Amino acid sequence: MAQFDMPLEELRTYRSASIEPPDFDRFWADTLAQARSHDLDARFEPVATAIRTVEIFDVEFSGFGGHRIKGWFSIPAGSTEPLPLVVEFVGYGGGRGLPHQNLTWASAGYAHFLMDTRGQGGSWSTGDTPDPVGSASATPGFLTRGIADRDTFYYRRVITDGVRAVEAARSHPLADAARTVLTGVSQGGGLSIAVGGLVPDLVAVAPDVPFLCDLPRAVRITDAAPYREVAVYLANHRPERERVFGTLAYFDNVHFATRGSAPALFSTALQDLTCPPSTVFAAFNGYGHQDRTIEVYDFNSHEGGGAHHEALRLEWLPKYV
């Protein structure tokens, strides 16, 4: 796939036309207050594995609606003092996987919390967290579940789970809450921006090829999934256009990004049809903290920088923790 979006010089100044709802902050404050009315009840159970360099814990905590959310918490073996904490979110369709699959951050000396994504984990890695909430008519996938109303939209639950995941991870005695970092790829990168806009005391955020950015543009300029799900839905629910975009405005990372209060390392790929570069730049250009960097991969698609960018994140993060 050749480059299809704006030229890079235009991307660097592009601003989204997405309109922030006037009650955006109130909506999210009320949503989180409702979630916090349920006891967090974070539980960490040691997992027996053949891994000798990392200790791994099976985690459960209460997310949106008090629903129990799973995760993995990992630390370098033999740790006795609190460590910088990396909270990571998973890409679209994936789950937390098996306990031995995500050891990079713990191997680098961090406490690492990987949140399972409710209802996902059937596409490319396994998940263990059901989503007990149903929805009205929806396109196959997750992006249109409950999309006719901000209160029932699927990502209201997932983003709230993400905030509660930070609180759960910070409750472990070997996690240094004052040195908390968020990261993730694709959907995980989008969640790191959203949760980063709702949690004010982070030290760094590293969204990689992030999803859920500049939603009005995203669903119009690419035929790739998952954004295609919204177009298919609207092709069959023609009268709901304004209602759908009204819902999406409460979940657009362009608006969460303006509330970002920690240094950030973004990435994008100029041939990425899944999360088009203009949508990523829309969030990056409006990001709230002055210390922000974006790595651009000219000849890559949604894989972005892959292992090269992972190495870059590992080199970048020690400046802040």
Predicted TM-score of the model (pTM): 0.98
Residue 12 lies in a domain: no
- According to the model, what pLDDT value does residue 2 have? 82
What is the CATH classification number for the domain harbouring 185? 3.40.50.1820
| Catalytic positions, written as ranges | 186, 272, 302
Residue 189 lies in a domain: yes
Q: Are 273 and 279 in contact (CB under 8 A)?
A: no
In DSSP notation, 44-75 reads: EEE---S-SSEEEEEEEEE-GGG-EEEEEEEE
Instruction: Give mean pLDDT, residues 123-147.
Output: 91
C-alpha to C-alpha distance for 187 and 36, rounded to whole angstroms: 24
Residue 9 lies in a domain: no
Residue 20 lies in a domain: no
Residue 23 lies in a domain: no
- According to the model, what pLDDT value does residue 124 have? 84
- According to the model, what pLDDT value does residue 135 have? 83
pLDDT exceeds cutoff 90 at 122: no
pLDDT exceeds cutoff 90 at 137: no
Residue 223 lies in a domain: yes
Instruction: Give mean pLDDT, residues 90-104.
Output: 97
pLDDT exceeds cutoff 90 at 134: no
Residue 10 lies in a domain: no
- Domain that residue 261 falls in: 29-319
- According to the model, what pLDDT value does residue 280 have? 98
pLDDT band at 1 (very low <50, low <70, confident <90, very high): low
- According to the model, what pLDDT value does residue 136 have? 81
Q: How many domains does the chain have?
A: 1
Residue 1 lies in a domain: no
- Per residue in 237-284, pLDDT (tens digit) is 999 999 999 999 999 999 999 999 999 999 999 999 999 999 999 999
Sheet holding 204-208, edge to edge: 43-46, 54-62, 68-76, 111-115, 83-89, 175-185, 204-208, 264-269, 292-297
C-alpha to C-alpha distance for 46 and 321, rounded to whole angstroms: 26
pLDDT exceeds cutoff 90 at 16: yes
Provide the β-strand partners of residue 183.
88, 206
Provide the β-strand partners of residue 72.
58, 114
C-alpha to C-alpha distance for 25 and 200, rounded to whole angstroms: 13
Give the percent of the chain with pLDDT over 70: 100
- Per residue in 148-188, pLDDT (tens digit) is 999 999 999 999 999 999 999 999 999 999 999 999 999 99
To 10 degrees, the CA torsion angle through 250, 252, 253, 254? -100
Give the percent of the chain with pLDDT over 90: 95
Count Cα atoms within 13 angstroms, Cβ side, for 319. 13
